Amino acid sequence: MEEIKNKTSPEQASPEEEKASFSKDADFAEDVKKDAEPGRNDAVKDEAAKDTAGQDVSGEAGPGGHEGEAESEASAGTSADGRKGFFWKKDKKDPKDEKIEELTDRLKRSMAEFDNFRKRTEKEKASMYEIGAKDVIEKILPVVDNLERGLAAVPEDAKGTPFAEGMDKIYRQFMKTLEDLGVTPIEAVGKEFDPNFHNAVMHIEDESLGENIVAQELQKGYMYRESVVRHSMVQVAN
């Protein structure tokens, strides 16, 4: 105990040791004073953050379960702003994934092209059917005209005969069949002249009718669905 007391006693310290101890205490007090200055700690933290930016020194286990492994490959280098350190490279895409994406894109394109082809084919088929139907109807219309002329030429005293009634029934059946197929006559008399449906071949002055009004129908026109098969041949007033 006496030896320990002798070693720690102030009387045993030399003047040089006391001077060194005093200098250390002064330096420690100066460091504490600097650390207490406002913004000192923030500046130190910012500097430390700059030094460690772009680096990953984590020792935690990665996705594979191996400690210290990173998800991406790291390489040393210099960043665009001049900082040096380790920077992570972007993972390269797996060739299998690229091939899957390529084949998926080709499949989508093929499906879209096939769908467009199907729609175009259906439209062409409908158009061809309509053109063929219009061609047949146009050849039948002169027969309808002759039936109408024949019925109009029947004398008054012969209209009640079996022959006249039979012709009238045939005509009505014919017109009903055309109507079921989508063939309808164009209304003309009393309507305003429309070049989309009427073909004006004569012109008269009639004060009882308005301007550009169809006064007489010389030949009946017909439509197939929404398209004109034959324009009405008309006489226009005023």
User: pLDDT tens digits for 79-117?
Assistant: 555 565 555 555 677 888 899 999 999 999 999 999 999
Write down the pLDDT at residue 206. Answer: 85
Question: What dihedral angle (degrees, nearest 10) is formed by the CA atoms of 174, 179, 184, 189?
Answer: 60
Fold for domain 182-238?
Nucleotide Exchange Factor Grpe; Chain A, domain 2 (2.30.22)
User: pLDDT tens digits for 167-220?
Assistant: 999 999 999 999 999 999 999 998 999 999 999 998 888 888 888 899 999 999
Report the DSSP pairing between strands 198-204 and 232-237: parallel
Give residue for tokens 């504490």: 32
74 phi-psi bin (left φ>0, alpha ψ -120 to 50, beta other): beta
Write down the pLDDT at residue 68. Answer: 41
Write down the pLDDT at residue 53. Answer: 46
Instruction: Give the pTM.
Output: 0.51
User: pLDDT tens digits for 10-69?
Assistant: 444 455 555 555 555 556 556 545 554 555 555 544 554 555 444 444 444 444 444 444
